[in-house]
Structure formats: C-alpha cells, structure tokens
Amino acid sequence: MTDAAVFKAACPDCRGSFELAAAALRLAIGGSRRTTFYSFTCPDCGASVRKPAGERIIQLLTGGGVRTLRLHSTA
C-alpha cells in the first residue's frame, strides 16, 4: 500500500506543481525546526528543493513510506 503513495509538491524555482512517489522524497528529522525538512529534486527544472517539515508533514511522509534520516546532535 505504501508503494502507491504519491504526494503533491511544488517547486519554488520554476513554480511547477506535480505529484511525487514516496521514493522521490527524503525526510530529515533533526533536533530543531531548522534541521527538520523534506527534500526532492524538481522533475520539471531539476532544482534541489528543501522545505520545512512540521509534525503533520512528518506523519504523512513517514506513513506514506518516505525514506527518513534521523540527524543526531554532535553536542
């Protein structure tokens, strides 16, 4: 079921709107809002896009099978 998950996304560079499969997205969860984000490559212009991810976005992406990287503090 998670293989069929698609997510709506938009590129701030070319302003394209599209749907991406879970495999096209990456989620990074850090110790702060600044270090918690999701990223993808725009299929229209090839730009690397990074957007902040709040709790709801994290739930949707992880529930949809998006690969997650947990960032550890070096302190």
| pTM (two decimals) | 0.84
Strands (E), 1-75: 6-10, 17-21, 26-29, 37-41, 48-52, 67-70
- pLDDT tens by residue, 3-52: 568 999 999 999 999 999 999 999 999 988 889 999 999 999 999 999 99
CB 37 within 8 A of CB 52: yes
